[in-house]
Amino acid sequence: MTLDKAHRIAGIATVGTFIFTGVYMKLRFPELYGGSEFVHVMYRSNHIYILLAGLVNVGLGLYLAARPPGWRGRVQVAGSALVMAAPILLAVAFFRDPPLASVHRVITTVGIVTLALGMLGHVVARPRRG
């Protein structure tokens, strides 16, 4: 399977997860956050992070160029692996981090950093123009 197709599949699945978490919140709020606006905002932000990861994957799936040769190709593959892992981490974080009601959202942080590092890998792997 090509990287662009893998990103499209991951992106569509992640947007589906975003819809699922939205329905989950619709059906479970307000008892889900127990009246705490802090926890409510944490659920909402994690919900949006899932959408972010899905849209990044869809975007890469639509515009990813063929893998460049050499080290750039390896960096691109590593970046893609990180970008495709981020939605999994963020989906887990949606269910695990907000109920803790702590500003220290470890899984969420790891998911966002994973997404950012993956995109940085794609920036570094971009073929030189010239």
Summarize pLDDT for 37-71 with one digit per residue, the tens: 899 999 999 999 999 999 999 999 999 987 778 99
Cβ density class 88-124: b for 16+ within 10 Å, e for less? bbbbebbeebbeeeeeebebbebbbebbeebbebbee
User: For residue 30, is the peptide bond before it cis, meaning its omega torsion is within 30 degrees of 0?
Assistant: yes
105-129 tens-digit pLDDT: 999 999 999 999 999 999 999 877 7
**What is residue 67's predicted lDDT score, i.e. its pLDDT?**
76
Question: Residue 130 above 70 pLDDT?
Answer: no
Percentage of the chain lying above the pLDDT 70 cut = 99
**What is residue 35's predicted lDDT score, i.e. its pLDDT?**
81
> Which of the 8 DSSP states describes residue 29?
T
